[in-house]
Amino acid sequence: MQTASVGKQKKYKPPKQPLGKRLLRYWPLYVMLIPCIIYYILICYVPMAGSVLAFKDYSFKKGIWGSPWVGFDYFKTFFNSYDAPRLIKNTLTIGVIKCILEFPFAIILALLLNEIRNMKFKKVAQTITYLPHFLSSVIIVTMIQRILAPNTGILNQAISALGGDGSTFFMMEADYFYQILFSMDLWRNIGWDSIMYLAAISSVDMALYEAAEMDGCGKLKKMWHITLPSIRGTIGLLFIMGIGGILSSGVDQVWLLRTPGNMVVADTLDVYVVRMGIQGGQFGYATAIGLVQGLVGLVLVVVCNKICEKMTEVSLW
């Protein structure tokens, strides 16, 4: 009887080629990558130098680097302000609505579209669902204003026809703001977000479905035990990337939906940054708030990535 302990067999890893050889061998691919690298350097990394404004009393005359340092004064001012708890609460609420509550709907739509066997109808349905993504927020909010207008809006006319009060000004009521924002954002993005899941579903091995049919599985069981586990990696990656925007409410949508009546719930960090920075000229103060949003988003992505890696073996890195 063997008593010696057998160590774990290491997985075979092919030897890596030196960087110089890889560059020579795949040089057309690296050349194609250069415009992408330049884009991200100029658009994403170079502007990060402006984050130094969060620690300076910016002056147009002195410039960014000539302005005096103020340390963490802007951060202390914001967190000690009366508006900070309300702004953070509103932003987190909208972030949860967009990043968590809306997240399953695109998966459900992709599963439903995948079950359509008539290819012409499938293409038409898919086109109709992702077409709103290309409409600007201005157009969508204008449509909502017409639909929800008191007395003359479609919704109020339907309520009036059913014997109710058809004069409700939904856009001025704070109680309806989150429902309106949720419906607007879901209608706009559900089709576009489902494209990634449809692409992942199309790569699932059809032999698995055939084997499941032989075992007597119906559509729901095949969907639950084959389709969803097969696209688990795509779901995990998109969720990790989306969770970083939980403190970013989308300034265009919220700004356009804001009215004096719903201001108490429609004031978010993004809106506050625009008001303080562009309207108020307090560039350093606005930059400090934006920097906090970015840091929190980065931490959430790192933590969520670590949790997903341990629980589902899916991670960004």
Other Cβ atoms less than 10 A from the Cβ of 44: the count is 9
Domains of the chain: 72-312 (1.10.3720.10)
What span, in angstroms and rounded, lies between the C-alpha atoms of 95 and 137? 17
Task: Give residue for tokens 């008593």.
Answer: 3
> Which residues in the chain land under pLDDT 50?
1-8
Q: Where are the alpha helices (DSSP H) in the chain?
A: 19-25, 27-40, 63-66, 73-79, 84-96, 103-114, 119-130, 137-147, 154-161, 177-202, 206-214, 219-222, 228-230, 232-243, 251-257, 263-266, 269-274, 283-312
* pLDDT tens per residue across span 218-261: 888 888 888 998 888 889 888 888 888 888 877 888 999 998 88
DSSP 67-95: SPB-TTHHHHHHHTSSSHHHHHHHHHHHH
Q: What is the pTM of this model?
A: 0.82
What span, in angstroms and rounded, lies between the C-alpha atoms of 256 and 94? 15
Question: CA distances (Å), 267 to each of 14, 90, 120, 243, 253, in order?
Answer: 54, 7, 44, 21, 12
DSSP 257-268: H--TTTHHHH--
What span, in angstroms and rounded, lies between the C-alpha atoms of 105 and 190? 7
Task: Give residue for tokens 């075979």.
Answer: 12
Other Cβ atoms less than 10 A from the Cβ of 201: the count is 21
* pLDDT tens per residue across span 10-48: 555 566 777 778 888 888 888 999 999 999 999 888 888
Residue 30 in tokens: 């690296």
Supply the pLDDT for residue 140.
93
What span, in angstroms and rounded, lies between the C-alpha atoms of 243 and 301? 6
What letter does residue 315 receive in the DSSP assignment?
Answer: -
Measured at the alpha carbon of residue 254, what is the angle toward residues 250 and 255, in degrees to the nearest 5?
110
Supply the pLDDT for residue 12.
52
How many residues are present in the chain? 317
What span, in angstroms and rounded, lies between the C-alpha atoms of 212 and 229? 14
Supply the pLDDT for residue 245.
82
Contact 91, 269 (CB under 8 A): yes
Is 56 in a helix, a strand, or coil?
strand
Supply the pLDDT for residue 14.
61
Contact 193, 99 (CB under 8 A): no
